[in-house]
Amino acid sequence: MTDVTDTLVHLCDTSDVSEDLPFRVERDGFAYAVFLADGQYYVTADLCSHGPGQLSDGFVEGCEVECPFHQGRFDLRTGAPTAPPCMEPIRVWTPTVADGRIYIADPA
């Protein structure tokens, strides 16, 4: 029998991520940021759409992350920019969480 997680990409374990510490993980040369916010896990591209900021180093408040470079902000649920200077959205994935592991489908 095929487990649903067999077709997904494993990014990290739930123990790797906390509300205060997002987690950066690379798969096939692409960097993802994994967040825990308000009890939910979120996965986004790690690279800010405005410049070189790594969102996994950002400040999380509610369901938003603030880029550490110029303090632009994004909604973790949609990837939409919510504060300047960010104007372009970032890509987001809806994670699957199973047995303490975090997966995505359709990797970058």
Query: Which chain residues interact with ligand FES by CB under 6 A?
Result: 48, 50-53, 67, 69-70, 72, 85-86
What residues contact residue 39 under an 8 Å CB cut-off, 6+ apart?
none
C-beta of 8 vs 47, nearer to ligand FES: 47
The residue number with the shortest CB distance to ligand FES is 51
**Dihedral (CA of 44, 47, 51, 55) sign:** positive
Q: How far is the CB of 76 from ligand FES (least distance, A)?
A: 15
C-beta of 17 vs 73, nearer to ligand FES: 73
Q: How far is the CB of 72 from ligand FES (least distance, A)?
A: 3
C-beta of 68 vs 98, nearer to ligand FES: 68
- Asked whether 32 and 41 are in contact (CB, 8 A), the reply is no
Q: Which two tokens stand for residue 16?
A: 């790797």
- Rounded distance between C-alpha atoms, residue 60 and residue 77, angstroms: 12
